[in-house]
Structure 1
Amino acid sequence: MALTTPLHGVVPPVCTPLDAEGEVDTASLARLVEHLLDGGVHGLFALGSTSEVAYLTDRQRRTALETVVATAAGRVPVLAGVIDTTTARVVEQGRAAAESGADALVATAPFYTRTHPVEIARHFRRVRERTGLPLFAYDIPVAVHSKLTPALVRELAADGTLAGLKDSSGDEGGLRRLLVALGGRARRDGTGFSVLTGSELTVDAALLAGADGVVPGIGNVDPAGYVRLYEAARAGDWALAAKEQERLVALFSLVDAGPEDVMGRSSSALGAFKAALWLLGVVDRHDTAFPQVVLDDTAVAAVAERMRAAGLTPVRTAGDAR
């Protein structure tokens, strides 16, 4: 599908279901894509952080992306994360994603070694030039240890290097300053540059400020909820948007279901998303990639409780065979 300019709406970072051997469960992944499309999403972001991209081999990445592309079948654009340490490796990932049918790429700044903004700009320009696909910058300093400045983003937007930005920096003030610099709410659909927030708990505020959409991890679980929020915001019904946002904030509490004494918060969140999808009957297992600890029955029961409180009805119960 041709990429709309700018990309807008709800673009979930698609979870990667795994089988008992830790391989990509393509049947479950295809059902997940259909679940998201049934929810009305406007795009799909494969191989993002929520997809556990850092844990996947190149072969597994290709399998996951090809499954998403084939299942989407042109109904919405598919963005592919090409997240790797250096420019050469990102270009290689980008070319593979293009061969697999991705409509656009999503890349972070280089990481492991620290880089200067001049080097980051060179990185994005080379990736764009050598892959031939629209490129979105992924601003996630907690993972890559570099913050993309508004000045750098504006520069790369102006020269056509970047088609958009996924902002997962957690810097809400910085996002607002960038939106203002780009023209604020008045810029909508006028620049060809898309700003998507990754802060799924403040989507209504970001849309009010002029963001074009959201990339919500928990949108895997409740895509229709985020679509309702987005549509209410686009219609100017901010009271309804806030009401839906508040329900989703309550649902998001399921990310803390995993016990802190045995697993990291990322493992808990990713495990909770997958557990919720398993409880809904979308995927066959809720395993996360090794060495992450899988949520136990007590944690899965806690996920189910928070789903019910947010109006979602599990079709499985904790303790059922995975």
Structure 2
Amino acid sequence: MTQHDLTQLHGIIPPVVTPLTPDFQVDEPALRRVLRHLLAGGVHGLFLLGSTSEVVFMDAPQRREVLRIAADEVAGHVPLLAGVIDPTTDRVIAHARDALAAGIDGLVVTAPFYTRTSQPEIVEHFRAVQAAVPLPILAYDIPVCVHVKLERDTIVTLRREGVITGLKDSSGDDTNFRLLARACADDLGFRLFTGSELMVDTALLVGAHGCVPGLGNVDPAGYVALYEAACREDWREARRIQERLIRLFGVALQGTPRTSPGASGVGGFKTAMKLLGLIPTHHMHRPNAPLDATETHRVQAILRAEGLLTPA
């Protein structure tokens, strides 16, 4: 039985950056510092081992280490979700069992990847994970990484069967998200989250219950303020905050075209967090390249412009 009721999950749930030591292991003191920073920012939950966490680069012992540290540091104050992301069903189930043993509240599951998978096979994948491990599941729609979309009918089927309790939508398909919100509006326990840092105000307006923003590692309080403005239906204020966060999102764009967009994004977040004193290094798992000195200088300028660093 989980500590938190995920049918009431809401708000800002950042995908937690994983700080690394110089030899590419989990940096426990830095991860604890990041977790405290996020809690101090007022976040409503934490998503461990997501894309921003560099989960696919981690073996099972490293993933277990992240879960152990987070469960200990957070101590039940907010719900903890764990990405159990791997190409095949049985590997996902193994990670899910580790999450259950660590005391995590819920799982985040993508479609299988590398192998080509049909929508009926995806449904069976989710059913198998749900049958094997007694934790709530949020489906994770991220076709840019897994190369298959969770179709709306697939999500509705899994919701109707009680296999999933919610969705993290990182598809970028805002029309589909809105139609899905309409299709699920009668199910008050089904929770919808956007993975977009840039369209949070819009998603909340059309029925999202919250957001999973990678940029929330840098400015959790900013996203919490946006969410609170939306809860008050102060859409003018929500838009003002969103526009500031769009400018701040520039930290995620400074590595391209020298690095891949993904490396630029996570690398930008890590570089910003290093400049803010949260983590000691900004490197990532290989082969992703960290931001260089010129790119770091540009990130620093953005942080200063948006009030997170004192002007020089």
TM-score by length of 1: 0.94
- Indicate the larger mover: 100-109 or 252-261: 252-261
Alignment partner of 2:90 out of 70, 88, 91: 88
Alignment partner of 1:291 out of 287, 294, 297: 287
Q: In the aligned structure 2, how far is the partner of 1:122 from the partner of 1:67?
A: 32
Q: Percent identity?
A: 50
1:229 aligns with 2:238: no
Could you say which residue in structure 1 is the equivalent of 2:54?
52
| CA root-mean-square deviation | 1.3
Q: 1:168-317 maps to which residues of 2 (within 5 A)? A: 168-183=170-185, 187=186, 190-261=187-258, 263-313=259-309
Q: After TM superposition, give the deviation of residue 191 of structure 1 in Å.
A: 2.2
CA-to-partner distance for each residue in 1:238-284, whole Å, 9 max, x for gaps? Answer: 000000000000000111111413x1111111111011111111111
Q: In the aligned structure 2, how far is the partner of 1:269 from the partner of 1:314?
A: 23
Alignment partner of 1:102 out of 101, 104, 114: 104
Alignment partner of 1:166 out of 165, 168, 171: 168
Give the conservation status (yes or no) of the 8 Å contact 2:142–2:170: yes
Q: Where in structure 2 are there 5+ consecutive unaligned residues?
A: none
Q: After TM superposition, give the deviation of residue 314 of structure 1 in Å.
A: 6.0
Q: In the aligned structure 2, how far is the partner of 1:294 from the partner of 1:254?
A: 13
Q: 1:119-138 maps to which residues of 2 (within 5 A)? A: 119-138=121-140
Q: In the aligned structure 2, how far is the partner of 1:176 from the partner of 1:241?
A: 19
CA-to-partner distance for each residue in 1:264-306, whole Å, 9 max, x for gaps? Answer: 1111111110111111111111111111111112111111111
- Indicate the larger mover: 126-135 or 250-259: 250-259
CA-to-partner distance for each residue in 1:27-82, whole Å, 9 max, x for gaps? Answer: 00000000000000000000000000011111111111211111111000100000
Q: In the aligned structure 2, how far is the partner of 1:124 from the partner of 1:175?
A: 20
Q: In the aligned structure 2, how far is the partner of 1:20 from the partner of 1:144?
A: 29
Give the conservation status (yes or no) of the 8 Å contact 1:3–1:104: no
Q: After TM superposition, give the deviation of residue 121 of structure 1 in Å.
A: 0.6
Q: 1:136-155 maps to which residues of 2 (within 5 A)? A: 136-155=138-157
Give the conservation status (yes or no) of the 8 Å contact 2:48–2:82: yes
Q: Where in structure 1 are there 5+ consecutive unaligned residues?
A: 318-322
TM-score by length of 2: 0.97
Could you say which residue in structure 1 is the equivalent of 2:33?
31
CA-to-partner distance for each residue in 1:109-168, whole Å, 9 max, x for gaps? Answer: 111111111111110011011011000100001111111111111111111100110000
